[in-house]
Amino acid sequence: MKLARLRRLCRHGTLTQLAVFEAVARHGSITRAAEEMCLAQPTVSLQMKKLAEGVGAPLLEPGNRGLRLTDAGREVYAACEDVFARLTEMQDRVSDLQTRPPTTLRIAASSTAKYLMPRLLGAFWQSNPAVRIVLDVMNRARLITRLHSGADDFYVFSNPPEDKSLKLHRLTPNPLCFFARRDNPLAMRPRIPLSEIVAQPFIMREAGSGTRLAAEQLFAEHRVEPRACIELGSNEAVKQGLLAGLGVSLLSRHAIGSETDRADLVELEVEGMPLRRHWYLAYPANRELGEMEKAFIDHATRWTYDSRPELSEMRRSA
Ligand code: PGA
């Protein structure tokens, strides 16, 4: 029942009418309220008529000095004060939300970045434990689609798209190198020319990955092409391919981080390698950043990758 009456009121009365009514009641005058609200006098009179119709009772009557409130008018005036106070409070809270640091940091990163992002984020989290961190990982092509959806606060690429509307911050280096199993005939050779690499069976990351793009760009630049390729859909699958002795591959040095991998795989000493890439933090240049986001950029741009942080910690404290 209450809802039906409220709907009837909303159909005939509006917030603007209440605001006009509040000014008329305060001044006791349609003319002065019209001046204050920069409205024509007939517009103010019409709004007052409509509001009275909506409420179902006259709200104003002639008094000694201008207009005065009827009993119904006093009720509407009290309601106006409540409504406007509540709306002001709502507006204050919303502005507060916009200026307060967000408590969730959403990051989407390319698949190879998963080897470093937990460490980079972990170091930030230790000094900002109240921040909830969400990291999502996907290959470069999917990351670009995700970037356009705007679902995250930051995007981490090694090979960011060329897009002037993006702000980029350069992060720690991302060296790309050729790897093979320890028993590969090239394993112990110094200064291997690229022509010998492409003569080997080559394990290629999937189309859409940044790692594949880097390999294709390198081969195109040197006008060479691998003799035979097998395509495997992730860094982990490529590593398994290398361990199975399927051939050689180009990977980020970060992807071969663990001691077990290092024991069985070797970085080939190829001329002109490694490819000296970097990681980048990307976000839309027109986005307003909160204090927490600025602190994160500061942390990320200072942070450097160490594949064995726990050992270097021990070395430092020894
Ligand atoms: P990838 O991308 O993990 O898809 O190979 C690396 C990059 O960001 O270029």
CA 130 → CA 100, 105, 281, distances in Å? Answer: 13, 11, 22
- 191/223 same-domain check: yes
Boundary of a domain, candidates 53, 85, 117: 85
Do 111 and 198 share a structural domain? no
In contact, 100 and 290? CB cutoff 8 Å: yes
Q: What is the DSSP letter of 270?
A: B
Domain identity same for 195 and 228: yes
207 and 137 fall within a common domain:
no
Question: Does residue 241 have its Cβ closer than 6 Å to ligand 1?
Answer: no
Domain boundary at 85, 118, 149, which? 85
Query: What b-and-e string marks burial along 214-251, b requiring 16 or more CB atoms within 10 Å of the CB?
Result: bbeebbeeeeeebeeeeebebbeebbebbeeebbbbbb
**C-alpha to C-alpha distance for 279 and 156, rounded to whole angstroms:** 7
- Look at residue 95 in the predicted model and tell me its pLDDT: 79
Residue 278's φ and ψ, nearest 5 degrees, are -130, 165
Asked whether residue 313 falls in the same domain as residue 239, the answer is yes
Answer whether residue 143 is part of any domain: yes
Q: Which of 159, 204, 254, 279 to mutate to test the pocket of ligand 1 (most atoms within 8 A of CB)?
A: 159
Please give the structure tokens belonging to residue 118: 């937990």
Q: Are residues 235 and 286 in the same domain?
A: no
Tell me how far apart the alpha carbons of residues 159 and 252 are, in angstroms, rounded to a whole number: 12
Whether 162 and 196 map to the same domain: the answer is no
- Say if residue 80 is in the same domain as residue 56: yes
Instruction: Please provide residue 178's backbone torsions phi and psi, each rounded to the nearest 5 degrees.
Output: -90, 140
φ and ψ of 169, to 5 deg: -120, 130
Identify whether residues 259 and 242 lie together within a single domain.
Answer: yes
Indicate whether residue 209 lines ligand 1 (CB < 6 A).
yes
Q: Whose CA is nearest to atom 2 of ligand 1?
A: 210
Report the CATH number that the domain containing residue 46 is assigned in CATH: 1.10.10.10
Evaluate whether residue 212 is within a structural domain. yes
Does the beta carbon of 249 sit less than 6 angstroms from any atom of ligand 1? no
Asked if the structure places residue 192 within a domain, the reply is yes
Query: What pLDDT score was predicted for residue 227?
Result: 92
90 occurs within a structural domain: no
What local confidence, expressed as pLDDT, does residue 141 receive?
96
Residue 158 CB less than 6 A away from ligand 1: yes
User: What is the structure's pLDDT at 32?
Assistant: 94
* Count of structural domains within the chain: 3
pLDDT computed for residue 269 by the predictor:
97
Return per-residue pLDDT of the chain as tens, 318 residues.
466 766 766 766 678 899 999 999 999 999 999 999 999 999 999 999 999 988 889 999 998 888 999 999 999 999 898 888 888 888 877 777 676 655 899 999 999 999 999 999 999 999 998 899 999 999 999 999 999 999 999 999 999 999 999 999 999 999 999 999 999 999 999 999 999 999 999 999 999 999 999 999 999 999 999 999 999 999 999 999 999 999 999 999 999 976 666 789 999 999 999 999 999 999 999 999 998 999 999 999 999 987 665 444 444 443
Residue-number span of the structural domain to which 221 is assigned: 176-277+309-317
Determine if ligand 1 sits within 6 Å of the CB of residue 254: no
What pLDDT does 202 receive? 98
157 in the same domain as 22: no
Hunting for tokens 């040095």 — which residue is that? 253
Residues 167 and 283 occupy one common structural domain: yes
Q: pTM for this one? A: 0.67
Q: Is 35 a member of any domain?
A: yes
**91 assigned to some structural domain:** no
Note the pLDDT of residue 97: 67
DSSP string of 161-220, one letter each residue? ---TTEEEEEEEEEEEEEEEETTSTTTT-SSB-HHHHHTSEEEEEPTT-HHHHHHHHHHH
**Cα dihedral across residues 31, 35, 39, 44: positive or negative:** negative
The answer to whether the CB of 140 is under 6 A from ligand 1 is yes
Q: Residue type for 28, please?
A: G
